[in-house]
Structure 1
Amino acid sequence: MKTIKSLTEAEIAELPILPDGWSWVRLGESIEVLTDGSHFSPKSIGKGYPYITVKDIKNDQIDFDNCSKISEDDYNNLVKSGCKPYKGDVLFSKDGTVGKVSLVSFERDFVVLSSLAIIRPFTSINSSNSKFLFWVFKSSHFLNQALKSKKGVAIRRIILRDLKALIIPFPPLPEQRAIVSKIEQLFSELDNGIANLKLAQEQLKVYRQAVLKKAFEGELTKKWREQQTDLPNTQNLMEQIRREWEEATKASGKKTKAVKNLTEAELEELSLLPEGWGWVKLGRVVWSVKDGPHYSPKYEENGIPFISGGNVRPSGVDFSNVKYISKELHEELSKRCKPELNDILYTKGGTTGVARVNTYDFDFDVWVHVAVLKTIKSIYPFYLQHVLNSSHCYRQSQKYTHGVGNQDLGLTRMILITLPICSFSEQEVVVQEIETRLSVCDKIEQDIETNLEKAEALRQSILKKAFEGKLLNERELAEVRGAEDWEPAEVLLERIKAERVKNGKK
């Protein structure tokens, strides 16, 4: 290993002051090995020895299940080239996604690509704790240095020489062990809290669907219904829907074939509804179902927003990352499919089966992945939004979504989705009951998101304190400083230098 240029007094003066016995050092000064994996990609085979790349580092762990496999000959050649990590090594990604980290805490035969650096402490003199290095590499102090050191144009990476030159805090060995123990204790508590928050998120999803289920079974409006005297019966409701659909399609000037009514056999397979409610197919309550262009239009820097399925969510349309088309193209596309106020936007490509009322009183266009549904007068738009997002309708949307690579919920299939319907006045009450409950969910969900963000910030705060020497309390610090193997970092670093010279002579 080539000699690493030590920090100068001027450089150290610009860094935060460390506790007594600690030192600021360059990474290459404190470790035995810092190398990388193979600089060529051996042939991948069905079975063989694991060959790990950056993509195989997931959540600080190595994913051996989906990694490439290489032959025994290639494996042996790469082992001779120093591409094999051993137990106690730390892997750090230096190409592509810089900053992924994993501690090799097991014995296993595998090799790595050059995109991963292999960092190994001086095990012969017990110079540093592998877990300590792992957490150092996870800190924002180290990661920010690594990101600033990236070079290249097409592929940005940090080269080994620059990685070795990065600066880390280096405490005495007993303090390294104590800091690791404290970090793991605090992170375990933090992870438990995060797990509880994520469990609450999942429970909210279940609760949301439970609210929608009860709403469209008529449970939420049962008392309201009992107080009404002029609600239409099911037969009158269905006749009104039929009449409005025919009037709307006739007014549009376009010939539209009516969707067949549900048969007796189909109705028998559906659940019973309250008096005055009925089952209909989606195509019976919307008089126009169109999607956007089936090609990618020419985009402009500014102009008319052009959205795709990923922009449509039950909470609204995300216009923050949309593309734009010219006004002329917008006018051309609007002749076939024009989203208007209170239309339903329904995703039919990518993530299918998500509905949202268009509440935006300005022009925008949709791609093929979004359908625009125009409702008859007897349908309250937000009622249709919620019912389409209910599990009953969502399951059908997935059944009608076809394709392997490019999945699509076809227009002629989506109109076959069955949904429960009631009078317009009850639809308004249903929506009010739903949104009263879901607004509470939204508030709780926002609080959960805020706390998850705080948890991640707290994680970095813990690491920052750890590597400033402020994580251990006075009692813990006194205990580790009384350990038999405690010695100032300067002394330990001198022993590392001597060991490096000794190894160099060998």
Structure 2
Amino acid sequence: MKKLSFPTVKLGNFIREVKEKVKNSGISQDDFTVYGVTNTDGITVTNNKASDDLGNYTVLRENQFAYNPYRVNVGSIGLSLPGTFGAVSPAYVVFETNGQISNEFLLYYLKSSLGINLIKWYGDRGGVRSALRFSDLKKIDFPDITLEQQNKLLTKIKKLDELLCELDKNLSDDKIEILRQSILQQAVEGKLCEQDPKDEPANVLLEKIKAEKERLVAEKKIKKQKPLPPISEEEKTFDLPKGWEWCRLGELVTSVTDGPHYSPEYHDKGIPFISGRNITLKGIDFSTAKFISPQLHEELSKRCRPETGDILYTKGGETGKAVVNDIDFEFNVWVHVAVLKPSTFVYNKYLALALNSPHCYALSQKYTHGTGNRDLGLTRMIKITVPLPPANEQQRIVQRVTKLMGQCNLLERELSISKKYASQLMESVLQEAFSVQETAKPAQVIEFHPDQTIPETELLAAARGKIREDTWEHLCKRAMEIAGEES
């Protein structure tokens, strides 16, 4: 049995059941509106009648509560609005307060995670379906605070609830992902960093890369590559800054290989052997890696040997994900992973960033063939067009994107905290109120997690401070503004 973090009294001290029947009201049944209760809308008008005869229905008036004993454990309870007059099914429980507690505060309390847990505790019927009778409701533990204190806490709860709703709306997982994609797209369009006219232009880089490849071919370290088709004007989907160049992926790497096109023999230990599922945008996940023998690793390495600094690029399954290999131990890859060796004149982190941008990702999907066994073939992937900035700007772009992605990670953490806080809002506010009063904490019946509270100022900062209000309406267009705000 767990403890509540605040003193309580029994709810039965403040509530009374309403049992007035329509047939005893002296009012014609035709004058009654029939109401129901849902966990989202509370008390609402319904056309669902259990019977054409409303005689046994319970009269419902303004400022009264109604709930379904079998569904109140999912928050199906409501408070009738001023002016309400009607009836509810006899299956519902109707009750009202004696004026010593706030109706609205009680509704928030019973619909909170704390209230739901108490409802489940006192409505537990053992092996029988859970149902909260009115006699059970009276046993529920209610905060031992005055009506004035309830109203003050209610004001705070409403304010925090509004902020949390806005935060959840603005920082949803999908919007943060849209923001990430917007940042990457702005990066490859040259809109994240100012251009420096003193930088060596990218066309000079391409000449250096070409010379490097010719030297490696002469040294028999790589094979001579077939010429790639020229880039058409239709493929240049956006304008590049001065000093940038459009090029194909194959122009920027000295080799492109993949792992064996068959399933090798696996062992309990040995050299890690990964597939596309082990490649994530956050790095290489070895937790589900298989193992091959050192002998087979050496044999496979004659064709494909991942080295530190290479780019691993998924070409099977979920294609089009790139990550720089920063691992300092030996491993090998299956056919679903391509190993790209960038030219020494191309910053590997920029190239991986570009491959993960919406522009390059869309092309990776275009070049991925098949349905069940999807494959981004090596000869197709090297045709992907990549915007190439000057070498110095590649460095600046990666630094800028790294900072911005860190901001996105912070937003994700804010969202996670807000969701936890929202589910524990009532407990947190009550615990804070009583901790200020340094009140004793008598044993009760529900688990509580005080470590999930966060200051109201942090919620406000998360909702307003890190990103301007109108950002969320123009996420795809506003990575530039976000970039300026993070500093």
* Matching of residues 364-379 of structure 1 within 5 Å: 364-379=331-346
Contact map agreement 1:309 1:348 (CA 8 A) in 2: yes
Equivalent position amino acid for 2:212 in 1: E
**Aligned: 1:193 with 2:161:** no
Letter aligned with residue 410 of structure 1: G
2:445 matched residue in structure 1: 468
CA contact (8 A) 2:10 2:141 kept: no
- Name the residue aligned to 1:64: none
Q: Is 1:351 aligned with 2:351?
A: no
* Secondary structure of the corresponding residue to residue 442 of structure 1: helix
Alignment of 1:67-106 (within 5 A): none
Structure 1 residues 366, 195: CA separation in 2 closer, same or farther (over 3 Å shift)? farther
Change (3 A) 1:442 1:164: same
Amino acid at match of 2:174: E
1:440 aligns with 2:412: no
Alignment coverage as a number of residue pairs: 345
The answer for the alignment partner of 1:217 in structure 2 is 189
The amino acid across from 1:433 in the alignment is: R
1:255 corresponds, among 223, 226, 235, to 223
Residue identity matched to 2:415: I
Partner residue, 2:250:
283
Pair 1:400-2:367 in alignment: yes
Residue 384, structure 1, aligned to residue 351, structure 2: yes
Distance of aligned partners of 1:346 and 1:453 in 2 relative to their CA distance in 1, 3 Å threshold = farther
1:239 partner amino acid: E
| Matched residue, 1:323 | 290
* Matches of 1:328 and 1:170, distance apart in 2: 73
- 2:271 and 2:332 in contact (8 A); partners too: yes
| Residue 384 of structure 2: aligned partner | 417
Unaligned runs of 5+ in 1: 1-13, 23-59, 62-87, 92-100, 106-122, 147-160, 180-185, 472-506
1:392 to partner: Cα distance: 0.8
- Asked if 1:237 corresponds to 2:205, the answer is yes
**Residues in 2 aligned to 1:246 and 1:383: alpha-carbon distance in whole angstroms:** 23
Amino acid corresponding to residue 388 of structure 1 in structure 2: L
For 1:322 and 1:231, the matched residues in 2 are separated by: 42
Q: Distance in 1 between matches of 2:291 and 2:120?
A: 39
Shift of 1:451: 4.0
With CA pairs under 8 Å and 6+ residues apart, which has the higher RCO, 1 or 2? 2
User: Residue 501 of structure 1 aligns with which residue?
Assistant: none
Q: Write the deviation string for residues 374-417 of structure 1: whole angstroms up to 9, x where unpaired.
A: 11111110010111111111111111122222222222211110
The answer as to whether partners of 1:348 and 1:370 remain within 8 angstroms in 2 is yes
Deviations 1:268-296 (A, max 9, x none): x4433222211111011112212223333
Matching of residue 203 in structure 1 with residue 175 in structure 2: yes
Classify 1:210/1:296 alpha carbon distance in 2 versus 1 (closer, same or farther; 3 Å): same
SS at match of 2:340: strand
Which is worse superposed, 252-261 or 428-437? 252-261
User: Which amino acid in structure 1 is aligned with residue 200 of structure 2?
Assistant: L
Q: Secondary structure at the match of 1:172?
A: helix
Shift of 1:439: 2.5
3-state SS, counterpart of residue 182 of structure 2 = helix
Unaligned 5+ runs, structure 2: 13-38, 41-67, 78-89, 95-109, 144-156, 430-440, 449-487
| Matches of 2:383 and 2:341, distance apart in 1 | 16
Report the TM-score when normalising by structure 1. Answer: 0.54
Shift of 1:364: 1.7
State how 1:299-318 maps to structure 2 within 5 Å: 299-318=266-285
Change (3 A) 1:104 1:440: closer
Q: 2:478 — aligned with what?
A: none
Identity of aligned residues (%): 38
Cα 1:398–1:175 change in 2 (3 A) is farther
Q: CA deviation at 1:188?
A: 13
Tell which deviates more after alignment, 395-404 or 238-247: 238-247
In the superposition, relative to structure 1, how do residues 322 and 202 fare at CA in structure 2: closer, same or farther (>3 Å)? same
Distance in 2 (alpha carbons) for counterparts of 1:217 and 1:277: 10
| C-alpha distance in structure 2 between counterparts of 1:328 and 1:393, whole Å | 37
Contact 2:216/2:222 (8 A) holds in 1: no
Separation (CA, whole Å) in 1 of partners of 2:118 and 2:288? 28
> In the alignment, is the contact (CA less than 8 A) between 1:290 and 1:373 conserved in 2?
yes
Instruction: Write the distance in 1 (CA, Å) between the matches of 2:344 and 2:180.
Output: 27
Q: Structure 1: how far apart are the matches of 2:268 and 2:170?
A: 42
Runs of 4+ in 1 over 6 A off after TM superposition: 14-22, 88-91, 101-105, 123-127, 135-138, 140-143, 165-170, 175-179, 186-192, 457-462
Identify the range of structure 1 (377-386 vs 323-332) with the bigger mean alpha-carbon deviation.
323-332
1:295 to 262, 267, 275: 262
**What letter is aligned with 1:334?**
S
- Displacement of 1:298: 3.3
How far off its partner does 1:220 sit?
Answer: 3.2
Alignment RMSD:
5.0
The one-letter code of the counterpart of 1:196 is: L
How far apart, CA to CA, are the structure 2 residues paired with 1:412 and 1:140?
A: 63
Q: Classify 1:177/1:411 alpha carbon distance in 2 versus 1 (closer, same or farther; 3 Å).
A: farther
- 1:263, CA displacement in angstroms? 4.1
The 3-state SS of whatever aligns with 2:256 is: strand
Q: 2:445 corresponds to which letter in structure 1? A: E
> Kindly tell me: are residues 313 and 169 of structure 1, through their superposed partners in 2, closer, same or farther at Cα, counting changes over 3 Å?
farther
Whole-angstrom CA distance in 2 between matches of 1:321 and 1:190: 41
Deviates more, 1:318-327 or 1:275-284: 318-327
Mapped to 2, the partners of 1:328 and 1:460 lie a distance apart of: 60
CA offsets 1:75-124 (integer angstroms, 9 cap, x no match):
xxxxxxxxxxxxx7979xxxxxxxxx98999xxxxxxxxxxxxxxxxx87
Q: Deviations over 1:245-268 (max 9, x none)?
A: 33335545453432414245456x
Partner of 2:291, secondary structure, is: strand
Whether contact under 8 Å (1:19, 1:469) holds in the other structure is no
Distance 2:393 2:423 in 1: 45
Alpha-carbon distance in structure 2 between the residues aligned to 1:458 and 1:366: 48
How far 1:370 sits from its partner (Å)?
A: 1.6
Task: Please tell me whether the aligned partners of residues 209 and 345 of structure 2 are also in contact (alpha carbons under 8 angstroms).
Answer: yes
How far apart are 1:196 and its partner, in Å? 3.0
Residues 355 and 171 from structure 1, CA distance in 2 versus in 1: closer, same or farther, beyond 3 angstroms? Answer: farther
Aligned partner of residue 289 in structure 1, secondary structure: strand
In structure 2, distance between residues paired with 1:407 and 1:304: 26
Instruction: After superposition, give the CA deviation of every residue in 1:47-94 in whole Å (9 maximum; x if it has no partner).
Output: xxxxxxxxxxxxx99xxxxxxxxxxxxxxxxxxxxxxxxxx7979xxx
Q: Is the 8 A contact 2:70 2:131 kept in 1?
A: no
Instruction: Determine the C-alpha separation between the residues in 1 that align with 2:345 and 2:311.
Output: 14
